[in-house]
């Protein structure tokens, strides 16, 4: 594909003004909704082939979530598009002022492999709602979903509006050499740096949704059984391949043993005695990631699980003990079904350790103590926080989702997604009369009088 020509066609179409029209945006969102619903069986089959996702998890986390984003955009599009009135500066009186949200133009959306449908099409919903054209680059590591999405896009949109470009790393690099008006990337921190460097050559604004080692703090007052179920649910869905999955557990020493026992019980309840036979437990995406994760099983002491099958790209849900902050498993984001457990005595002992690490995409805290909650919030940084649960905070479309520092920049979901793909344009309109002479040179008042005037009008 001639990427330069494709982008030129999209830019020409964008400049025609058609994508900015409210009805055009709504029609495109409805077309995407209808296409997803019509392709549900194909998409579910592709997600199962790539990651062994069962239909319930695949629908909820991928298809259903994306359809929810479309419903939200259709419901609120008129309000999001409406200019916001602002106060005009006193110097320009009489005047009116407002802020208009205007589309950037041609957007590039690069998706990951772990949620290859949702994390590609949810940003597309925001881009369309905001009035942009878009070029999608799905992950080659989920080839079945990539092919299914590419077919869906081809059947639903003209290329000058939305196009899907398949391929490997070389395709991504070729696209990033082109000039876009907005780049949205979801993936690892290392590739995120490369995306930002490429965008800098054209001064293209970027949104980076990355990851990091999201900690899960469990205080002594947390109800153990409920806490264990919620941690296990968030950690081991999609075989741990979730950017906001709890990466490690920090548990108060007095309840550590009971929490581990409760997590073991939850794992048996969720996936049975042999998770490899469970229809509800996924697989590792490829051999490279499988080998990386198996090497982590050599760290510390296996408290539960530890089994693997290379031919099936299966790794058993695993709990690791005897882990320190310097252990190999604590160096990088795990992104798999391996959960280290570290005990602590006092919350003040672990907060400095957390702050020594790059801020994660999510932070989890289980406690009934409001003072404890406020202390952790005040003394840590993260993209988002979820108290007494895991992962579910990113489902809320009224909550912006995004990272900070090495876990990303910018946010989206719901209105935040609309704002992510728009420029906030200030517009002021002034009348020709009156036109007082005091602001024109030479000065009509002393410097002292000017100081008082500016203090008064603020």
Catalytic site positions = 209, 243
Cα gap 155→141, rounded to integer Å: 23
Q: Smallest Cα–Cα separation from 111: which of 40, 35, 191?
A: 191
Cis preceding linkage at 94, omega within 30: yes
Q: What is the DSSP string of 45-61?
A: HHHHHHH---HHHHIII
Q: Smallest Cα–Cα separation from 211: which of 246, 249, 251?
A: 246
Q: Smallest Cα–Cα separation from 181: which of 246, 236, 247, 105?
A: 105
Beta strands in 133-218 (DSSP E): 133-137, 162-164, 182-186, 206-209, 215-218
Close Cβ partners of 422 (under 8 Å, ≥ 6 residues apart)? 101, 102, 103, 104, 130, 131
CA distances from 133 to 9, 14, 140, 176 (A): 10, 7, 22, 16
Element holding 27 (H helix, E strand)? helix 22-38
SS3 content of the chain, % helix, strand, coil (to 5): 50, 20, 35
Element holding 264 (H helix, E strand)? helix 256-271
CA distances from 27 to 30, 100, 124, 277 (A): 5, 22, 14, 44
Q: Smallest Cα–Cα separation from 126: which of 184, 51, 172?
A: 184
């Amino acid at each position: 594909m001639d990427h330069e020509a494709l982008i030129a066609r999209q830019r020409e179409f964008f400049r025609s003004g058609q994508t900015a029209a409210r009805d055009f945006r709504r029609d495109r969102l409805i077309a995407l909704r209808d296409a997803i619903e019509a392709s549900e069986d194909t998409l579910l089959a592709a997600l199962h082939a790539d990651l062994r996702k069962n239909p319930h998890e695949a629908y909820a986390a991928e298809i259903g979530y994306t359809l929810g984003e479309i419903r939200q955009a259709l419901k609120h599009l008129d309000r999001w598009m409406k200019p916001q009135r602002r106060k005009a500066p006193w110097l320009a009186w009489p005047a009116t002022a407002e802020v208009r949200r205007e589309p950037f133009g041609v957007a590039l959306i690069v998706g990951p492999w772990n949620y290859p449908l949702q994390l590609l099409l949810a940003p597309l919903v925001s881009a369309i709602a905001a009035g942009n054209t878009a070029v999608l680059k799905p992950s080659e590591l989920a080839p079945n979903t990539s092919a299914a999405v590419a077919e869906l896009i081809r059947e639903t949109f003209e290329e000058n509006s939305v196009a899907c470009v398949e391929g490997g790393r070389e395709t991504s690099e070729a696209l990033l050499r082109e000039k876009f008006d907005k780049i949205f990337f979801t993936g690892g921190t290392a590739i995120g740096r490369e995306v930002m460097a490429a965008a800098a050559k054209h001064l293209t604004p970027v949104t980076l949704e990355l990851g990091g080692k999201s900690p899960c703090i469990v205080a002594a007052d947390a109800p153990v059984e409920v806490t264990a179920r919620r941690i296990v649910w968030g950690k081991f869905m999609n075989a741990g391949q979730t950017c906001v999955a709890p990466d490690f557990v920090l548990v108060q020493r007095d309840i550590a043993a009971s929490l581990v026992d409760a997590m073991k019980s939850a794992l048996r309840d969720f996936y049975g005695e042999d998770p490899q036979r469970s229809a509800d437990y996924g697989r590792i995406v490829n051999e490279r990631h499988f080998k990386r994760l198996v090497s982590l099983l050599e760290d510390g002491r296996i408290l539960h699980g530890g089994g693997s099958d290379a031919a099936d790209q299966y790794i058993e849900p695993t709990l690791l003990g005897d882990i320190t902050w310097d252990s190999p498993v604590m160096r990088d984001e795990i992104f798999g079904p391996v959960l280290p457990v570290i005990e602590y005595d006092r919350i003040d002992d672990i907060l400095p350790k957390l702050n020594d690490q790059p801020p994660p995409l999510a932070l989890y805290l289980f406690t009934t103590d409001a003072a404890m909650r406020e202390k952790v919030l005040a003394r840590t940084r993260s993209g988002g926080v979820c108290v007494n649960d895991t992962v579910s905070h990113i489902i809320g479309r009224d909550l912006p989702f995004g990272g900070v520092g090495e876990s990303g920049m910018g946010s989206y979901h719901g209105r935040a997604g609309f704002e992510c793909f728009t420029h906030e344009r200030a517009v002021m309109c002034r009348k020709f009369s009156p036109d007082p002479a005091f602001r024109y040179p030479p000065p009509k008042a002393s410097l002292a009088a000017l100081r008082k005037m500016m203090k008064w009008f603020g």
